[in-house]
Amino acid sequence: MNGEVIAVDWGTTNRRAYRLAADGGVLATVCDDRGILSLAPADYPAAVAALRARLGEAPLLIAGMAGSTRGWREIPYVDAPADLAALAGGVIHVARDVAIVPGVALRGSRHDVMRGEEVQALGAITAGLAPRDALFCQPGTHDKWITVADARIHRFATAMTGELFALLRTHGILSGMLDAPVVDGAAFRDGVARGAGATDLLDAMFEVRARVLLGTLAPGDAASFASGVLIGADVGARGDLAGGTVHLLATGALAALYTAAIALRGGRVVAIDSAAAFTAGIHALHALLPGETA
């Protein structure tokens, strides 16, 4: 059905909620840190009521980690390949006028899961921000690469890039060496070249320390080099990007670093506004649902 809806991207640490008009336009937004880690399952009805108090009465359609084992209620994944209709078919009502979008599972020679990114990728296509055949990248703690063909998610991969950098920076032998800001410069690009396609990534990590000890890497450049190694390995794992386009669901410093690394691998980046992609995806899903709730 059509009509207004509150679109909620309910993540692990953050939450973004948008009141959408019947035409999909954003009427109001709430962004806060009430991610699933801050909530027990019993807390969600009150959290929803509080959202409605701020955004108005409307059905809620939620995507993201709220549908995970650690969220409000586990919503079974739909299997790839999956388009918007498949996602709509897996939506489950968890309360009156509140429903949760399923994540997508990849089963076969590789196994992977996602919750939330699927709405952004397919929403970007719906909104005309990306073609129906596209490669998406959403960098972050767990970087997602999503291959879409004819507006259907065919396969995807999750890389532990951001988490690993954070672990190395905070714990272990490289801690204290990686505190400088990561910037796109010679050290970052050297790191990308070292990490891309490497079959010895475990060696490359230790080399950060060895290079500093031997004076071939300035201490202030160690963080940029180490980040380059990991982002280079991440981007390099996508195979030959030469001449290809990556649709990047990111902004800010991380977007700049991935844009540089992708360019070094011969690819081209189209930046996509994550919020526009997400709200377009929820608006399209909402239109595909039967009338009762969402």
By CB under 8 A, name the binding residues for its own copies. 69, 77, 105-107, 110-113, 142-143, 157-161, 163-164, 166-168, 170-173, 197-203, 205-207, 209-211, 213-214, 216, 230, 233-234, 236-237
Buried b (16+ CB within 10 A) or exposed e, 86-110: bbbebbeebeebbbbbbbbbbeeee
CB of residue 136 vs its own copies: minimum separation in angstroms? 16
Q: Which two tokens mark 13?
A: 């640490």
User: How many Å apart are CA 274 and CA 289, to the nearest integer?
Assistant: 23
What is the pairing mode between strands 60-64 and 5-10? parallel
Residue whose CB is less far from its own copies, 12 or 279: 12
| Alpha helices (H) along 134-251 | 161-170, 186-195, 201-213, 222-236
Residue whose CB is less far from its own copies, 42 or 111: 111
User: How many Å apart are CA 231 and CA 71, to the nearest integer?
Assistant: 29
CB of residue 141 vs its own copies: minimum separation in angstroms? 8
CB 185 within 8 A of CB 224: yes
CB of residue 234 vs its own copies: minimum separation in angstroms? 6
Which residue, among 280, 282, 285, has the nearest Cα to 127 in the 3D structure? 280
The edge-to-edge listing of strands for the beta sheet with 245-248 is 152-159, 143-149, 134-138, 245-248, 268-271
CB of residue 28 vs its own copies: minimum separation in angstroms? 32
Chain-centroid distance of CA 30 in Å reads: 19
User: How many Å apart are CA 211 and CA 204, to the nearest integer?
Assistant: 10
CB of residue 257 vs its own copies: minimum separation in angstroms? 15
CB of residue 152 vs its own copies: minimum separation in angstroms? 20
CB 196 within 8 A of CB 233: yes
Question: CB-based burial of residue 273 (10 Å sphere; 0-12 exposed, 13-18 middle, 19+ buried)?
Answer: middle
CB of residue 227 vs its own copies: minimum separation in angstroms? 13
Residue whose CB is less far from its own copies, 45 or 140: 140
Residue whose CB is less far from its own copies, 164 or 288: 164
Residue whose CB is less far from its own copies, 21 or 206: 206
Residue whose CB is less far from its own copies, 33 or 200: 200
